[in-house]
Structure 1
Amino acid sequence: MRRLALIGLALAAASIDPSTAEETTMSATDHPYVGLWVTDDGHVRHALLPNGRYDEARGTRESAYRGRYEVTGTHIEYWDDTGFTADGDFVDANTLHHGGMVLRRRP
Structure 2
Amino acid sequence: MAEHPYVGMWVTKDGQIRHELLPNNRYDEARGERESAYQGRYQVTGNYIEYWDDTGFTADGEFIDGVLYHGGMVLYRNKE
The interval holding the TM-score normalised by the smaller chain is: over 0.9
Give the alignment's Cα RMSD to 1 decimal: 1.4
- Structure 1 residue runs of 4 or more that deviate by more than 6 Å after TM superposition: none
Larger Rg: 1
Normalized per residue, the structure richer in helix is 1
Look up the equivalent residue of 2:70 and give its one-letter code.
H
Within 1, Cα distance between the matches of 2:3 and 2:32?
Answer: 30
Normalized per residue, the structure richer in strand is 2
Unaligned runs of 5+ in 2: none
Look up the equivalent residue of 1:102 and give its one-letter code.
V
TM superposition shift of 1:30: 3.2
**Percent same amino acid at aligned positions?**
72
Q: TM-score, normalised by structure 2?
A: 0.94
Paired residues in the alignment total 79
Greater RCO (Cα-Cα under 8 Å, separation 6 or more) = 2
Task: Select the residue among 60, 66, 77 that pairs with 1:87.
Answer: 60
Within 2, Cα distance between the matches of 1:99 and 1:91?
Answer: 14
